[in-house]
Amino acid sequence: MSETNPTTGSTDAELDDDWEESPPANDASLPSNRFFDRELSWLAFNGRVLELAKDESIPLLERVNFLAIFANNLDEFFMVRVAGLKRRLETGIAAHNNVGRGPQQVLSDIHAAAYALQIDHARVATDIIRPAMELAGVAITSIDDLSPADRKTVDELFVSQIFPVLTPLAVDPAHPFPYISGLSLNLAVRVQNPKSGEENFARVKVPAILP
């Protein structure tokens, strides 16, 4: 049984009869650039995060946080999406994406876009944020610029709180290259045997518990 539509006064059956199904779209008539590459679109989004770090109307510490968010986003992007593209290449799955580009082409586009973003990120951090922090009384200095008293404080802090939790892992014929977990901070260092003077390459993971 049909019901009358209180708005139009027509019955459901009449509405069904009046409805004309749209013909399927002809892809040939649509512009070829109607799609954006997913990976490049994501990089453009992260670029907008970086733009927030440049916005002087935003409090300074929030702008510093946007710099950190941008860097963390980019790390995750390479760990997940770029790694996925490389796996597709290694396995021979070279299907084109929605804009007609294969994995190798997309990787080339990603590297160009990501490189430009990283250059801009470094410029913003060095030329904009760091001077603004110094004006606000927060200075990032090298150890060579510290006073003797400050140097003593830093040395004591390192010996008491940082050095005990560091574990260098040597890399030599007897020790294969250690596993490096995703998104971890690591240092590549050269260590010297105090007795023999022999130098070895080592990896030091910076524990997440450190400030």
Cα–Cα distance, 164 to 200 (Å, whole number): 20
Do 86 and 104 touch, CB atoms closer than 8 A?
no
- The confidence band for 73, taking pLDDT boundaries of 50, 70 and 90, is very high
Cross-strand bridge partners of residue 191: 200
Cα–Cα distance, 164 to 124 (Å, whole number): 35
- Give the CATH fold of the 38-140 domain: Methane Monooxygenase Hydroxylase; Chain G, domain 1 (1.20.58)
The predicted-structure confidence for 100-112, as pLDDT tens digits, reads as follows: 678 888 899 999 9
pTM for the full model? 0.71
The predicted-structure confidence for 47-62, as pLDDT tens digits, reads as follows: 999 999 999 999 999 9
**Where along the chain do the CATH 1.20.58.310 domains lie?**
38-140
